[in-house]
């Protein structure tokens, strides 16, 4: 084994080879005074999140909202037109009226304030039915991702973007760009990093996955999604307090990094799992955990579909190693966290709580069992739901 040399990066190359950086810099980019007479377009919460992910390089090699050739190739082939793996079309849908009035450099706004620009290079029709069938595997409007798709405009605008300023949001201390996460990983000397995506509070089954992975790698990037989610998901501020509490009591500080992932959820299951993995490569992770029903919702996807879809790519194409875990749970007879691979007992011995049941217990002020979640985390969740 060779000694670690901090001057030589061991982080994976970003997808496409270069980390995209399209955050405005004075003296390098255009003069804001040039924008005074330009048309404007108000962004939704999801479009704002996409703008940040594009501009900071989280979605490298994408440098803007995708054009028609990439759009169709992503939907039909799980790849950009040039063959690069990519599974979700990152589009900017607008009404036909807006599409007709927008050209050249467009100022993007949110909550009435300018947040960036789009240089329009294409306008093309959104194929909503095709996108729903292929990306979400359903045309059912009860699916939250499909519902959002149907509610969007019928024309997609494409072109490179510029973000004026990284919106650090409600969690500025944990809101790091891909370049900043990479800097932390390199400063700590981690030669391998496993990333974990979550939009829910961490329970003992998640903790088990983290610690099994930490036996294999140097560091854990706990990377919770804090963009737009469903209304019944646990609010981001409650989740963040739960993460900090858990890490403070049960994880080695020198081997863990809590940093937010500002993307919005699409609930696209297997398709979303691919982008979650590829974007974590851009953040500098060498490994990515995919458990049961990753990014799923309802019963639209098979339990392990999000693991099986990675077989569409070679290891070299992905550039990040996928750690596939089966369903884990507490076994009352084994007296520990287990999975079907390690436990000989039937389901009658297992403690498994659905997200719905957990929310019901919290709303009722009931205690969560310590076999399911750590007591300190349960208290954070209880206060969050009780408003205490």
Q: Is residue 169 part of a domain?
A: no
Q: Is residue 291 part of a domain?
A: yes
Residues 368 and 334 in one domain: yes
Is 7's pLDDT higher than 50?
Answer: no
Is 262's pLDDT higher than 80?
Answer: yes
Q: Is-catalytic flag, 382?
A: no
Q: Is residue 18 part of a domain?
A: no
CATH number (domain holding residue 286)? 3.40.50.620
Is 148's pLDDT higher than 70?
Answer: yes
Q: Please, which pLDDT band fits residue 188 given cuts at 50, 70 and 90?
A: very high
Mean pLDDT of 1-29: 78
Residues 110 and 185 in one domain: no
Residues 285 and 212 in one domain: yes
Q: Provide the domain limits for residue 361.
A: 178-386
Model confidence pLDDT, tens digit, residues 53-86: 999 999 999 999 999 999 999 999 999 999 999 9
CATH number (domain holding residue 129)? 3.10.400.10
Q: Is-catalytic flag, 199?
A: yes
Model confidence pLDDT, tens digit, residues 77-131: 999 999 999 999 999 999 999 999 999 999 999 999 999 999 999 999 999 999 9
pLDDT at 228: 81
Partners of 288 in beta bridges: 195, 322
Is 4's pLDDT higher than 50?
Answer: no
pTM for the full predicted model: 0.94
Residues 63 and 159 in one domain: yes
Catalytic residue among 38, 46, 188, 200: 200
Residues 109 and 77 in one domain: yes
Catalytic residue among 123, 137, 176, 199: 199
Residues 51 and 103 in one domain: yes
Model confidence pLDDT, tens digit, residues 288-302: 999 999 999 999 999
């Amino acid at each position: 084994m060779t000694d670690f040399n901090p001057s030589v990066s061991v982080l994976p190359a970003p997808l496409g080879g270069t980390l995209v950086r399209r955050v405005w810099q004075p003296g390098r980019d255009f003069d804001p005074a040039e924008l005074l007479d330009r048309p404007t377009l108000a962004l939704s919460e999801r479009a704002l999140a996409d703008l940040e992910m594009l501009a900071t390089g989280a979605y490298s090699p994408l440098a803007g909202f995708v054009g028609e050739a990439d759009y169709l190739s992503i939907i039909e082939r799980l790849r950009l037109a040039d063959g690069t793996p990519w599974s979700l079309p990152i589009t900017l849908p607008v009404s036909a009226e807006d599409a007709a009035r927008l050209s050249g450099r467009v100022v993007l706004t949110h909550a009435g304030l300018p947040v960036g620009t789009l240089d329009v290079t294409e306008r093309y029709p959104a194929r909503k039915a095709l996108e729903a069938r292929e990306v979400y595997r359903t045309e059912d409007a009860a699916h939250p991702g499909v519902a959002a798709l149907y509610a969007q405009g019928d024309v997609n605008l494409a072109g490179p973007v510029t973000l004026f300023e990284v919106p650090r949001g409600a969690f500025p201390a944990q809101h790091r760009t891909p370049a900043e996460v990479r800097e932390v990983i390199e400063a700590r000397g981690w030669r391998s990093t496993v990333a974990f995506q979550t939009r829910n509070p961490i329970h003992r089954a998640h903790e088990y996955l983290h610690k099994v992975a930490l036996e294999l790698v140097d560091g854990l990037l706990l990377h919770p999604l804090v963009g737009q989610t469903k209304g019944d998901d646990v609010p981001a501020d409650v989740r963040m307090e739960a993460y900090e509490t858990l890490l403070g009591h049960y994880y080695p500080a020198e081997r863990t990094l809590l940093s937010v992932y500002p993307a919005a959820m699409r609930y696209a299951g297997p398709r979303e799992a691919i982008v979650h993995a590829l974007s974590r490569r851009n953040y500098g992770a060498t490994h990515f955990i995919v458990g049961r029903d990753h990014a799923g919702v309802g019963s639209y996807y098979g339990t392990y579909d999000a693991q099986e879809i990675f077989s569409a790519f070679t290891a070299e194409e992905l550039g990040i190693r996928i750690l596939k875990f089966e369903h884990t749970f507490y076994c009352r007879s084994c007296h520990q966290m287990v999975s079907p691979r390690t436990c000989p007992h039937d389901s009658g011995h297992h403690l498994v709580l659905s997200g719905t049941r957990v929310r019901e217990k919290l709303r009722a002020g009931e205690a969560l069992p310590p076999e399911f979640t750590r007591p300190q985390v349960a208290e954070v969740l209880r206060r969050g739901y009780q408003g205490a």
